[in-house]
């Protein structure tokens, strides 16, 4: 698989923009410039205490800070995906990550299958359990059971996506002899990317359901070890790691005058590809206008193609 370049479309803002349609312009610009994939983030609401965002024990990232504060503007992720699907034709569309247990399992399966149909098989469902107890509490869900909720949700989705007549019995979701159409484009269902560190519980989900892995908080110095650990853990589950895509989150790199330092941004890509990375994701802030976004994306794609030695894609 050739390495891919993915960019973040920010479906959030610290304050309300005059018009949210810039996310559509950014997606069109990404497609036209030759970007492989765009992704969006997810939150339904926030409590007042956001400290857990920086606590890995709660599912956050060490040292991280939530980007908008509790009163930030956040568009619902799957709704945004539908809008992006309508204005693009080739671009892969993903969530990074959807706090999946916040949605009822059967409804999530239906929404993902619908997005898959509308996008002609371009939707990829990146999932995780999140970090915020207040979000679960507001939806009447047990934060302490979020891992179990996700496990049953993934099992129920796969059953609904693949079985002509679906049935599943679990502690949190239970249905029998139900029909859900349309089925996703691919026989195995919507591709699922699993977020998390190299731990047995994440490996179990990846072995059972994952098309891709979204590692937490890896660096060029720790990436190879993390991939090696995950490979061992997945293979211990009796599954192959060879066909699993692996994302790497590129840290932002800027010049002294705050321009994007393209060489520094992609400097570690060749070695990371050798270590198993297949998808490189950047969360750089994107200009709102189509022309400005296209210029930025074209620069990213050009440098990325040069670094990995892949042919330049036509943008016509």
CB 196 within 8 A of CB 100: no
* Burial class (CB within 10 angstroms; exposed 0-12, middle 13-18, buried 19+) of 163: middle
313 part of a folded domain? no
pLDDT by 10s per residue, the chain, length 316? 799 999 999 999 999 999 999 999 999 999 999 999 999 999 999 999 999 998 887 888 887 889 999 999 999 999 999 999 999 999 999 999 999 999 999 999 999 999 999 999 999 999 999 999 999 999 999 999 999 999 999 999 999 999 999 999 999 999 999 999 999 999 999 999 999 999 999 999 999 999 999 998 899 999 999 999 999 999 999 999 999 999 999 999 999 999 999 999 999 999 999 999 999 999 999 999 999 999 999 999 999 999 999 765 544 4
Please give the pLDDT value at position 62: 80
Range of the domain at 147: 4-308
Q: Is 2 helix (H, G, I), strand (E, B) or coil?
A: coil
In a domain, 75, yes or no: yes
Give the H or E element holding residue 128.
Answer: strand 123-128
174-178 and 166-169 strand pairing: antiparallel
Angle (CA) 163-128-5 rounded to 5° is 95
Q: Residue 315 domain-assigned?
A: no
Contact (Cβ atoms closer than 8 angstroms) between residue 235 and residue 205:
no
Structure tokens of 196? 């998390």
Which contiguous run of DSSP H or E holds residue 249? Answer: strand 245-250
Please provide residue 281's backbone torsions phi and psi, each rounded to the nearest 5 degrees: -115, 130
Please give the Cα distance from 171 to 101 (Å, whole number): 14
At 254, which CATH number?
A: 3.20.20.30
For residue 316, being part of any structural domain is answered with: no
Cα separation, 201 vs 231, in Å, equals: 13
Query: Who's near 127: CB < 8 A, 6+ residues apart?
Result: 95, 97, 98, 100, 150, 154, 192, 193, 194, 195
Dmax over CA atoms of the chain, in Å, equals 62
pLDDT value at residue 220 = 95
Report how many domains make up the chain: 1
Measured CA to CA, the distance from residue 208 to residue 244 in angstroms comes to 11
Quote the pLDDT of residue 315: 47
């Amino acid at each position: 698989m050739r390495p891919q370049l993915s960019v973040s479309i920010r479906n959030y803002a610290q304050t309300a923009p005059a018009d949210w349609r810039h996310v559509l312009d950014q997606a069109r610009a990404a497609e036209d410039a030759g970007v492989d994939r765009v992704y969006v983030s997810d939150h339904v609401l926030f409590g007042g205490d956001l400290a857990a965002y920086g606590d890995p024990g709660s599912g956050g990232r060490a040292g991280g800070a939530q980007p908008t504060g509790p009163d930030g503007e956040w568009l619902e992720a799957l709704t945004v995906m539908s809008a992006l699907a309508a204005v693009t034709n080739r671009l892969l569309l993903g969530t990074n990550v959807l706090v999946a247990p916040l949605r009822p399992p059967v409804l999530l399966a239906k929404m993902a299958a619908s997005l898959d149909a509308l996008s002609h098989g371009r939707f990829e469902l990146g999932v995780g359990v999140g970090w915020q107890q207040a979000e679960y509490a507001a939806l009447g869900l047990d934060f302490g059971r979020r891992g179990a909720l996700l496990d049953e949700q993934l099992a129920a989705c796969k059953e609904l996506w693949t079985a002509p007549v679906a049935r599943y019995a679990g502690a949190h979701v239970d249905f029998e002899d139900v029909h859900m159409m349309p089925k996703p484009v691919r026989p195995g269902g919507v591709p699922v990317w699993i977020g998390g560190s190299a731990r047995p519980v994440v490996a179990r989900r990846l072995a059972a359901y994952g098309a891709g892995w979204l590692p937490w908080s890896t660096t060029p110095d720790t990436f190879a070890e993390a991939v090696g650990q995950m490979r061992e853990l997945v293979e211990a589950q009796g599954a192959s790691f060879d066909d699993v895509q692996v994302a790497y989150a590129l840290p932002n790199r800027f010049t002294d005058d705050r321009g994007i330092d393209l060489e520094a941004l992609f400097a570690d890509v060749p070695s990371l590809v050798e270590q198993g990375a297949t998808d490189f994701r950047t969360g750089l802030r994107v200009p709102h206008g189509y022309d400005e976004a296209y210029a930025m994306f074209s620069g990213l794609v050009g440098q990325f193609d040069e670094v990995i030695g892949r042919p330049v894609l036509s943008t016509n």
